Chain A
Amino acid sequence: MGLLQSTEVLKLILGIGKDMIGQLLLYDALKLDFKKMNIPKEKTCQLCGVNPRIRAWLDAGKVPVIEKIGFEERKDNKDQVSAHWLSVALRNRRNIMLIDVREPHEWEICRLKGAEHHPVNRIKTDDFTKDLEKIIVFYCHRGVRSERTLKIFQDLGYENCRSLAGGIDAWAEAIEPDMPRY
């Protein structure tokens, strides 16, 4: 990765070749696979969007504490379900509503069968039922964003919701090895 990074630096300075501005390259070493995709400017971006909340340097760089917490440290949390639990529950047709809270470019790479797509910044809580018979399971890439979404829903009184520990990445590792990872 460092070599690719240096090459892009030299290309930018020299102004040669096709630049990678606004693009993302995904490299999978085990599969020797390269994928490239565009990173569009998101209207809702808090820095470069149409109505940014970060307007001055004073606001910059701030990130909620939860981003620093990996799912490993929260394994004991009863609101989290493992990929294994989820696969069994889905197979047994338990009444589960799967909600993918990742961004559109991630949804394009891979997704769980039967999931609905509600990116975390645009999710509308009123769209969901408080029906206790239905378990809402949120998932994201590695479990941080879904955990955050879960907390928001719980605060609003949704009792029967869970977050997939380790996200879709843990699912790919444990359940669906052919799924593209990033």
Chain B
Amino acid sequence: MTLKSVDVILKRLAERPAELAAARAAGAKVVGFQGYSLPEELIHALGLIPLRIGLGGSDRLVELGGRYISTKNCVYVRETVGLFADDTDPYINNSDIFAFDATCLQTFRTAEVVQYYFKKNVLIVGVPRNFYLEEAETYFTAELRHFVSRLEEFAGAKLSFEKLADSIALYDQIRDEILAIYEYQATARPLISWEEVFDVIQAGYVLDRRDYLGLLQALHDELAAGQGAAVIAGADDEARIFISGSVIPPGDKKLISIIDQLGGRVVGDDLWSGLIPYVEVDIKEPTIAAVAWAYLHRTPHGALPYLDLATDGRIARLKSLIGKFKANGVIYHTLRYCDPYTFKAKETKDILENIGIPLLELHTEYAGSDVEAIRTRVEAFIEMIKLKTETGVAA
């Protein structure tokens, strides 16, 4: 049974396009954005409405987008371009300006294509690939300052210390609530599933952020009332699955529904469209430099290469989340032509094998042609995990 507060969130989501149109008619300005390293706080603090754009799961839009960008780009990027070409997405149509970051080079190219073919007003934020170096902080801070100055021109307002402080506080609260709610889905007899939490997280991409915080608090309260504290105890008879790898954006239900149909239970993820952007974001003061620092020190996105395996924060985070959510198998989802995650699949498998966690790589697109093949592999994987759990092998 769906929780009441989840229903409310879904209802608010359905109402959001009309609400946005009304807000724009009343003079509000909307920034549609995409990218892992783009601090929403800065957009919000300027009184602009941030919308995280992009969908997945539609072969039609992928095909459409591929006519502008190539068929050799990941489906997420193709579908994003397809959304612009299709011209019916309410969030894209309600955006006055677009911002993309260069975390992934393909996102950067998306920005160029959108600018050229659809004549959109586009801002790009450069992201240092050597994000861990001291000089990267200076560079990224300057990039964000540049971004803010262009947004200020667009907004006709200046970024103030107070407004930035307010926005950071709001986003900190949102992050805290998401982290707290997320824990519930991994408990032994949860009132909320990972799939529902995932949807709730993604609802936050477009909902009004202050409203969203209220909705999250209501959900948290409902969970606490129904379940007490979130205590994650490993249910030993289950195949507890962790999802890692390429983005699973709103609309892409292919893998999740296969796992669900086969009786697998997802208990965690480190997707940038899932939990990971909310983990350990530490903005120490309301300045652009502090925002830059915090964003560079989050869990690194797979598109940002890191050259030392032993100290790789992404791997460390993956291992710690697997432990925290007591997962006993990882489904590593890679989209075709997603080099950032595909190139790391084998390496990640080897690393996890060393700690007794099996990893299944699924290399896929949005097309339905490989659904049966994926189903067979996921089924065998779940069986294998259950067997291992029952017989007490590994983990």
Are A and B subunits of one complex?
no
B residues with a Cβ closer than 8 A to A are none
